[in-house]
Amino acid sequence: MGTGAEDMTRSDVFGDIFLVFLALGTLVGILVISYTLYNSYKYRDTEDRSDDENLPALGELPTGGGSGKKLFVSFILSAIVVIALIVWTYGMLLYVEDGPDEEPAVEVDVQGATFSWSYEYDNGLEPTELVVPAGEHVELNVTSIDVWHTFGISQERVKADAIPGEHDETWFIADETGTHEGAIECYELCGSGHSNMEGDLVVYEQDRYEEWVDEQFTLNITVEDGNEEPVTDGVDEITLEHTEEDGHDYSYDGSEFENGSITINEIDQGGTYDLVITPEDGSQFEPVEEELDFTGPTEETYTLESPDDESSGDDESGNTNDGDDESGSGDQGGEN
């Protein structure tokens, strides 16, 4: 994954545009001021001044001197500079609009809600912070579930409307690593909590980012009995099957459990999974079938129930019924 060092960040683009306009404006300003000062000195009023024979009379239009070549050359040069500046700026802004040619390294759905931001990565992760790798193309798909918001990261020159029912795409490449607290803000007045609608941007180096992703895909499952004691024997297999994505099915043997627990690190797609814990043949436990919502580091505990526990509950219910019957019989006998 990588977009290449040649890709410019949005900050680079707007920084270059600013510097070019600043340099050009400074140059033009120096030339205009210098020319003005020169003419002010050259044509200053002195005692030796002679009458200008070409001075137009009242009602006459000035014709100027020369053949107009200076005016023509200055006009052509000005037009070339302005057109070149427009074309260059337009090309830079097109790059901001379309983004780099390479596929994004990370895609994130951003959802605004009063008064917070939520993130869902293309791999199904849903962290509370926006975490991205440094120097990589990050694509954002922004929307809202209630009122209008505007998602913005000022230091990355990112801004996108968050409108219910619509999606606004934007991108950025972050260079400065670290945790940038409050870097994500809402730029649309959206209610009483608008000023507190902030989020953190975390930028990691590539290796650390990959470690972070691995940490997010950590699932710990503990199996215990009705007495809340770890089940160290009796589990034959545990399976996980993604409910929406094909090719994300996982199976683990009961021997991989240690003191009733197993830590799974092989999962690479978040979302909802059908989880099945199958007991060994002849075991006293019943199978467990549950839906598991896995969008980040997760720890789950499941209780294995035995048929004896269920029958015990039935017996207790039956004993109660017997007691009622006996009470009824006694009443009948009393009446007789």
Q: How far apart are CA 207 and CA 191, in angstroms?
A: 40
Q: How far apart are CA 92 and CA 165, in angstroms?
A: 30
Beta strand pairing call for 168-173 and 219-224:
unpaired
**Kind and range of the H or E element at 328?**
helix 307-335
pLDDT by residue for the chain (336 residues), tens only, comes to 444 345 789 999 999 999 999 999 999 999 999 999 998 888 787 777 666 666 667 776 666 666 668 778 888 998 999 999 999 999 999 999 988 988 899 999 999 999 999 999 999 999 999 999 999 999 999 999 999 999 999 999 999 999 999 999 999 999 999 999 999 999 999 999 999 999 999 999 999 999 999 999 999 999 988 888 888 787 889 999 999 988 899 999 988 888 889 999 999 999 999 999 998 876 778 889 999 999 999 999 998 887 665 554 444 444 434 434 443 433 433 443
Instruction: Quick: pLDDT tens for 279-300.
Output: 887 677 888 999 999 999 999 9
Q: Is 46 in a helix, a strand, or coil?
A: coil
- Same CATH topology for 106-204 and 216-308: the answer is yes
Domain 216-308 has CATH 2.60.40.10: yes
Domain ranges of the chain: 7-27+70-98, 106-204, 216-308
Instruction: Quick: pLDDT tens for 143-166.
Output: 999 999 999 999 999 999 999 999
Per-residue model confidence (pLDDT) at position 66: 60
Select 106-204's CATH number: 2.40.50.180, 3.40.50.740, 3.30.360.10, 2.60.40.420: 2.60.40.420
CB 199 within 8 A of CB 184: yes
Per DSSP, the residues of 86-154 read: HHHHHHHHHHHHH--SSPPSEEEEEEEETTEEEEEETTS---SSEEEETTSEEEEEEEESSS-EEEEEG
